[in-house]
A and B are shown apart, each in its own frame.
Chain A
Amino acid sequence: MYWKYVIKRVINGIVIYIILIFIFSALFNMQMEQTVRAQIDEVVKGEVMAQSTSGKWTPEQLMNWSKERKVYYTELYNLNKPVFERIVTRAVDTILFRYGKSTIIKSAFGERDVVKIIFETVPRTLLLFGTAAIIDVILGILIGIKKAQKPGKGFDKGTSIATMIVFGMPSWWLGMLMIMFFVYIIKVFPSGGMHSTPPPAGFMYHLDTLWHLTLPVLTLVIIGFWGRAFLIRNIVLSVLQDDYIMSARARGIPERKVLFGHALRTAAPPIVTMALLSLLVSVSGGILFESIFSWPGMGNLYWISVEQSDIPVLMGDLSFSTGLYICGLVILDLIYGFLDPRIKVGGKA
């Protein structure tokens, strides 16, 4: 029963991903092709240069040859086909992770394969936002429950106001302030990046990473956990008003077990959903955050590829983050079905 639902949801996710990639290919077709044409021109120029230095051919022959090569590459990259076919081929390539070559950006090993460049950045992004999310959710649960226990009292109100204060605050702006203060004024943290240069070896390597991770994670947590606490408070508060909580208390179950057992277990599916969803949103919304801390993740890659106008990397990054985002949404649904026995799995659209 549950497996059927899982398969259905996964296929649904894949279909959506494919549709989106088609839309992106159609939208950005012109741009992609411009870069491919530019790349062809460059390659052909290189070839002609190589031939001309050998001195065997006349300028006229060279000219013809260059034209020939251009036609050859144009056919190779399907640029002579009708627009629709080109879009489809590009979409299929993207879906199969054939993102092509970058124009400027290189991976740590000097490769210009966009897939390699992106794959390099993914674990770093997950490390940064994952760490922040874990701390966020733990703090959020603790504070959220505390808020829900005494709703409308000083602590609840104070933290709710803090939630609203950071509600419209860009995380990258807070990042700038944090850097200004902690890096340049009191000089306790490194200004950015993932490692010191040169990175220390052995165990110190990890400590060094942790040290670089602290400030960005701190910033993300400061901005994030209020909102999480507020959401959890609302969920827990509505659960606490349910009859079975009173009933459990009346049965002499200790308050700790009522809160962290009955109430939190019941509230778990929506809490997990909300937490994961806001993690997804904060990852996709916080992509500029990485650049402020020069954290070499997927978000920083957006920044660099925009600055360098490296369209293939930009497109690859977009396709990949879309894929990750959809993956997150699918996992979210699956976890919900898993956590809540009330959901008749398969019945949910």
Chain B
Amino acid sequence: MKLKDLRGSISEFWNEFRKVKSGLVGLGIFAFFLLLLIFEPVLAPFSETNTRWRDISYWDDNPQSAYPIWVNFFSAKKYAKSSVLKDPQVSEEAFGTNRMMTYTFEYDYQYDIAPSDLILKIQGTGAAMMDLTFTRPDGETVYLTSSNLKMVEGGVSRISVDKGSKSEAYDFLGGFESRDNMRKFQRSSIKPAAILFAKAQENMLIDPEPLKGKYTIQAAILLQRPEDTISNVELVVPGRVFGLLGTDAFKRDLFSGVLAGIKWALLIGLLTAIVSVMVGVIYGVISAYLGGWKDSAMQRVFEVFNSIPLLPVLIVMSAVFKPSIWNLILIMCIFYWTGSVKTVRSMGLQIKEETFIEATRALGASNFRIIFKHIIPLIIPYSFASMALFIPGAIVYEASISLLGLGDATIVTWGQILRDAYTGGAVINGIWWWVIPPGLMIAIMGMSFAFIGFALDKILHPKLRTR
């Protein structure tokens, strides 16, 4: 019987809700967020984003501050994509006990803007010497580096051209570039990758023209002891565009970060809103129902809480106590519940006077039973609108706390990404793909709940309805 009533009223409610288009849009966006949340493990390009967001080594192979990949659609000049070359041609020569392993990578360069780096990753054991040579489509060959490798089981040796071959690239440049231009740059300040992929001519440093075609990168590794081995060699080419949302100045994939932020935003928003609105509803109803001096006393307490400026208090509490995300939610609930008390109390006062409450009391029901079984269920539907409208506020508060650097450092939230962007100079340097997506996510999530909340409000307060 009761269940049937409930089902009936829910379907009736849904029929009303369906008519408000903006509410449906809000619900649609919310559902989309839920889908993203569920499929986060599949969608996220970096599976350990949640645990290793602040671990710089995890992101080392990515380009720094790379544009989102779709920028190429809109740009006349195509930026080099990021790629990993995994299958080199291997040849082996033996000179007595010495073995010479040669790994040859072919890289087909068809972009206008050169990649940011070339990184050779070698796995193996023991010690070795390595020469890295770079052969261009125009026949020029550049010796990039010679280095001694000390390899341990399970470890990876990384050789970065950007870091280790500046001098060699500068020397290569010397053969073509004019003296005047050369003087403008220091040996240590040039970008080797930009030179290596440019046409060998004057001005190649200042205004490089891309030299498209097949490049050959050859790593010759000399192993001197028989027990030394090379198990795997890879060439990572960090491009200038990366992933759906690019990378930040710490080489992190922003798409993974933004995706990881969804669950926290939803958790913070939903939990804070539901708990604080429920507390407000219960408080308001009890205050209205008890009446008399108890009501006055509860109203005084409410007034005190209502007079607290929320964000300043949150900031100071976070600064002093450095709370985890759970404690932050708790603190927000403690100060956030007052929003719905006033309306709930006046509704409670009305319902209290209804005959059926009188009747129930006459039948000997306890106050507890009347409040929780008869009054609160009547008010709950009305509180859904405030819940939906509380959510964006809670999300923004967390983001604000994070922006100050007081957030929970063990998780990834949109506010923290924005904090890094702000302190990392994204605004000054125009790294818009670092600033816009996380904030936009906050705004869109806020918007979806605003849509839902206003739609509920419209249904529940018909006076404001438009024909």
A residues in contact (CB < 8 Å) with B: 12-13, 16-17, 19-20, 27-28, 31, 151-152, 156, 160-161, 163-170, 172-174, 176-177, 179-180, 184-185, 234, 237-238, 241, 280, 284-285, 287-288, 292, 302-303, 306-307, 309, 311, 314-315, 317-318, 321-322, 325-326, 329, 349
A164 to B389, CA, bound (A): 10
Do A241 and B463 touch (CB < 8 A)? yes
Of A177, A315, A317, which is within 8 A of B436 by CB? A177
A-B contact pairs, 26 of them (CB 8 A): A20-B304, A27-B317, A151-B466, A152-B466, A160-B454, A161-B22, A164-B22, A164-B454, A169-B442, A169-B446, A172-B403, A173-B435, A173-B439, A173-B443, A176-B418, A177-B439, A184-B427, A237-B464, A238-B463, A241-B463, A284-B312, A285-B396, A302-B404, A318-B316, A329-B306, A349-B296
A336 to B239, CA, bound (A): 62
A168 to B454, CA, bound (A): 13
A129 CB to closest chain B CB, in angstroms?
A: 13
Q: A168-B449, A180-B432 are in contact. List 18 more A-B contacts (CB 8 A).
A: A16-B303, A16-B307, A164-B451, A165-B447, A167-B447, A168-B391, A169-B442, A169-B446, A170-B400, A170-B443, A176-B427, A177-B439, A179-B427, A237-B464, A288-B311, A318-B313, A322-B309, A322-B312
A102 CB to closest chain B CB, in angstroms?
A: 15
Say if the beta carbon of B299 comes within 8 Å of chain A: yes
A315 to B319, CA, bound (A): 11
Do A318 and B312 touch (CB < 8 A)? yes
Say if the beta carbon of B194 comes within 8 Å of chain A: no
B392-407, CB < 8 A from A: 392-393, 395-396, 399-400, 403-406
Interface string of B416-457 (1 = CB under 8 A from A): 001001100001101010011001001101110111001000
Say if the beta carbon of B308 comes within 8 Å of chain A: yes
A314 to B389, CA, bound (A): 30
A50 CB to closest chain B CB, in angstroms?
A: 33
Closest 7 CB pairs of A and B: A168-B446, A152-B466, A168-B392, A173-B439, A167-B450, A284-B309, A164-B450
Do B312 and A168 touch (CB < 8 A)? no
Q: B459 — which chain A residues lie within 8 A by C-beta?
A: none
Do A238 and B316 touch (CB < 8 A)? no
Of B308, B392, B436, B446, which is within 8 A of A322 by CB? B308
B263 CB to closest chain A CB, in angstroms?
A: 17
Do B309 and A167 touch (CB < 8 A)? no
A303 to B312, CA, bound (A): 10
Q: A161-B22, A167-B392, A241-B463 are in contact. Are A285 and B446 (CB under 8 A)?
A: no
Q: A325 — which chain B residues lie within 8 A by C-beta?
A: 307-309
A238 CB to closest chain B CB, in angstroms?
A: 6
Do B450 and A168 touch (CB < 8 A)? yes
Q: A185 — which chain B residues lie within 8 A by C-beta?
A: 430
- Nearest residue, chain A, Cβ from B418: A173
Does more than half of chain B's interface fall in helix, strand or loop, or is it mixed?
Answer: helix
Size band of the interface chain B makes with A: 35 or more
A348 CB to closest chain B CB, in angstroms?
A: 12
Say if the beta carbon of B315 comes within 8 Å of chain A: yes
A16 to B422, CA, bound (A): 37
Say if the beta carbon of B320 comes within 8 Å of chain A: yes
Do A168 and B396 touch (CB < 8 A)? yes
- Nearest residue, chain B, Cβ from A191: B428
B432 CB to closest chain A CB, in angstroms?
A: 6
Say if the beta carbon of B129 comes within 8 Å of chain A: no
Say if the beta carbon of B179 comes within 8 Å of chain A: no
A121 to B83, CA, bound (A): 52
Q: A173-B439, A284-B312, A306-B319 are in contact. Are A329 and B446 (CB under 8 A)?
A: no
A164 to B304, CA, bound (A): 30
- Nearest residue, chain B, Cβ from A171: B396
Do A317 and B446 touch (CB < 8 A)? no
A238 to B463, CA, bound (A): 7
B284-306, CB < 8 A from A: 296, 299, 303-304, 306
B302-350, CB < 8 A from A: 303-304, 306-313, 315-317, 319-320
Say if the beta carbon of B467 comes within 8 Å of chain A: yes
Do A306 and B304 touch (CB < 8 A)? no
A166 to B439, CA, bound (A): 11
Q: A160-B454, A166-B443, A170-B439 are in contact. Are A326 and B307 (CB under 8 A)?
A: yes
Do B467 and A152 touch (CB < 8 A)? yes
Do B311 and A176 touch (CB < 8 A)? no
Q: A164-B22, A164-B450, A349-B299 are in contact. Are A285 and B311 (CB under 8 A)?
A: yes
Do B447 and A284 touch (CB < 8 A)? no
A121 CB to closest chain B CB, in angstroms?
A: 13
Do B435 and A284 touch (CB < 8 A)? no
Q: B392 — which chain A residues lie within 8 A by C-beta?
A: 167-168
Do A287 and B304 touch (CB < 8 A)? no
Of B22, B316, B404, which is within 8 A of A288 by CB? B404
Q: A16-B304, A180-B427, A309-B319 are in contact. Are A317 and B447 (CB under 8 A)?
A: no
Of B320, B445, B464, which is within 8 A of A234 by CB? B464
Q: B446 — which chain A residues lie within 8 A by C-beta?
A: 167-169
Of B308, B309, B439, B454, which is within 8 A of A176 by CB? B439
A160 to B13, CA, bound (A): 23
Do B445 and A168 touch (CB < 8 A)? yes
Q: A180 — which chain B residues lie within 8 A by C-beta?
A: 427, 430, 432, 435
Of A164, A285, A307, A349, which is within 8 A of B405 by CB? A307
A292 to B419, CA, bound (A): 11
Of A238, A284, A317, A318, which is within 8 A of B464 by CB? A238
A179 to B214, CA, bound (A): 43
A19 to B396, CA, bound (A): 28
B43 CB to closest chain A CB, in angstroms?
A: 23
A240 to B60, CA, bound (A): 63
Do A306 and B435 touch (CB < 8 A)? no
Q: A164 — which chain B residues lie within 8 A by C-beta?
A: 22, 26, 447, 450-451, 454
Chain A CB within 10 Å, residue with most, of B306, B315, B445: B315
Do A317 and B312 touch (CB < 8 A)? yes
A55 CB to closest chain B CB, in angstroms?
A: 43
Q: A173-B418, A180-B432, A306-B315 are in contact. Are A322 and B307 (CB under 8 A)?
A: yes
